[in-house]
Amino acid sequence: MSDLDGPGRYQYMSFNAPLSEAHADAIAARLAYAQPVDVLDIGCGWGELMLRVLERAPDATGLGVDTDEELLGRGRIAAVERGLSERAVFLNTPGVAVEQQADLVICVGASHAFGGNAAALTALIQHVRPGGRLFYGDGLWDPAYSVKQPDLVWEDFFELPDLAGLVDLAVATGYLPLFTETASPEELDDFESRYLADDEEWLLRHPNHPRAAHVRAAAEDHRRRWLHGYRGAFGFGYLTLGRPR
């Protein structure tokens, strides 16, 4: 799609999650330190975190699966550019159809593919080789924060767990919590701004385009829901979980 057709997708984002460059590098280094032989990224998008782990674990291979061919294509291009194409494979496959096990499984922001956190954690433990790790990321709700306009948040927002609830759920599923962390407020704001940048930057270049009114309305609606709805109440947790031998 050319610039004249409309805004791009995730052009200004390294990750489709609230994760800074420094935070991502620290996570990748910690995951690679365990020396995984293989990495499985379920719901990978363009697989940026998997690629960063592979760069730090030169003997490992990686498999990223997703159903968005455009994003998978971005991952394949990145793998070639970084000299990882012989060790990183991207397949158009639903996460629920995956059968492989791996030393390291990554699943960030893809619990919906399994039907929520409980179902996702239960399914994913079968993909983690005994003694291996799951790096899991998903949304949180801070029940101590008062949402001023509840009608601006999505339908199941208040069903999200807080961080303690997510960790408790992982432990009850059979994992050992090896590392627990959250996205910072700055990472959350940066994520939203970068998400909106596709539309806003395009509107800056094409204010009179036939699609401009539609794009502007969608961007304004998202920004309103973020700034007047879930900002402050919504968070994101990252858990490094071990599967006992």
Q: What is the pLDDT of residue 76?
A: 98
SS3 per-residue string spanning 87-142: CEEEEECCHHHCCCCEEEEEEECCHHHCCCHHHHHHHHCCCEEEEEEEEEEEEEEC
Residues of the chain with pLDDT under 50: none
Q: What is the mean pLDDT of the chain?
A: 96
Q: Which residues of 10-20 are buried (b: 16+ CB within 10 A; e: fewer)?
A: beebebbbbbb
The torsion angle over the Cα atoms of residues 105, 111, 113 and 114, rounded to 10 degrees, is: 90
Q: What is the pLDDT of residue 155?
A: 87
Please answer whether residues 194 and 7 qualify as being in contact, where contact means their C-beta atoms are separated by less than 8 angstroms: no
Q: What is the pLDDT of residues 205-235, one digit of tens each?
A: 999 999 999 999 999 999 999 999 999 999 9
Q: What is the pLDDT of residue 1?
A: 66
Q: What is the pLDDT of residue 91?
A: 98
Please answer whether residues 65 and 93 qualify as being in contact, where contact means their C-beta atoms are separated by less than 8 angstroms: yes
